[in-house]
A and B are shown apart, each in its own frame.
Chain A
């Protein structure tokens, strides 16, 4: 038998916050995925909004590429406020 496709579920826990990935589930279509996500991931007021996306449409970065992707940011300490020396007398900055 054909199987139900896999969906990734994202929940906004309260108004004003980002949707966050909480897990996955199987459903025939998007509507059913939302209904299932409500039952599986929102039994205790965990959310005010649900996103679902079929897992096959998610493109993920490859862990093997982490050096080339993230290392360039490591030595750019001048991107952080603490890099700049200011005298103590200067306030509110």
Chain B
């Protein structure tokens, strides 16, 4: 390793599956890509609380209510793990939040869809968390140490989210005709946006190739999407619900499901800010941040006062 440049040494370490840690040398573009991806991921966890938070007071019983509360609290926690992982790269929390609030940073477009029925809480857990888990399991092996460790923690906690969602769908699909119809309607609305969560096709994905080379991502968007479809279709069949895709068919030869074309126009519209809830979500975030400012100020003032008093007592004693 004597005469290698920093860059070559970095590439060699990534190639050997060694983790990169905060103080290690890394190319600026690697750092930037990670900050973009990890903060986007953190913002998604935080904004992801909004569609579900609305249903906490409307949960049909106490069992569902405590589960939803715990799930939303987990999402806050996941956001915090990820923000602190991003901060190890030399960006501070205020800047990260500012990027979210000004719309400079993105979050997963799925949260710009509304949760209009109780079944949506089931579908979000089953499909949205299911799709997120596919992506997150892969990210447990990402090349940046703090990100990988945050992911391991998140994956351990996330599995309950998906199971509680599926249980809601199961109860509804075994209920009255109206409940079954509500579950079907929810699947109809969430299926395609869930598939879009994996991002554009690999050929059209701007960052994919470089991220794969740096082992930030370990699988392509299309591979993950296919994997999600393959495991989810039998789960929908078990519920007795129909996936809203007339082209969906098992392909014996490939050993995978074939599926119909995804409406990428809709995807890009939502990314650009024109989804059903983009404005509402950002407004809610900014409002929460601004209205919480006095709490942060008071906490700092209190900490200072306590420290000063301690200092006074010490100097009197000496």
Contacts and interface: CB of A to CB of B under 8 A. Distances in A.
B306 A60 contact: no
B289 to A, nearest CB: 11
A2 B302 CA distance: 13
Contact of A43 (B77, B84, B87, B299): B77
Interface of A: 1-4, 6, 22-29, 32, 39-40, 43-44, 60, 62-63
Given A1-B293, A3-B92, A40-B77, A28 B24 contact: no
A60 B84 contact: no
A32 B303 contact: yes
6 contacts: A2-B300, A4-B300, A23-B84, A25-B84, A43-B74, A63-B21
Given A28-B302, A39-B77, A40-B80, A23 B150 contact: yes
Interface in B136-176: 149-150, 153, 157
Given A3-B92, A27-B299, A28-B296, 10 more contacts: A1-B297, A4-B300, A23-B84, A23-B150, A28-B303, A29-B302, A29-B306, A43-B73, A62-B23, A63-B21
Interface residues of B, number: 30
Contacts of A26: 93
Interface string B83-98: 0110110001110000
B299 A4 contact: yes
B296 A4 contact: yes
Nearest to B149: A23
Contacts of A6: 84, 87
Contacts of A22: 153
Interface string B102-118: 00000000000000000
B84 A63 contact: no
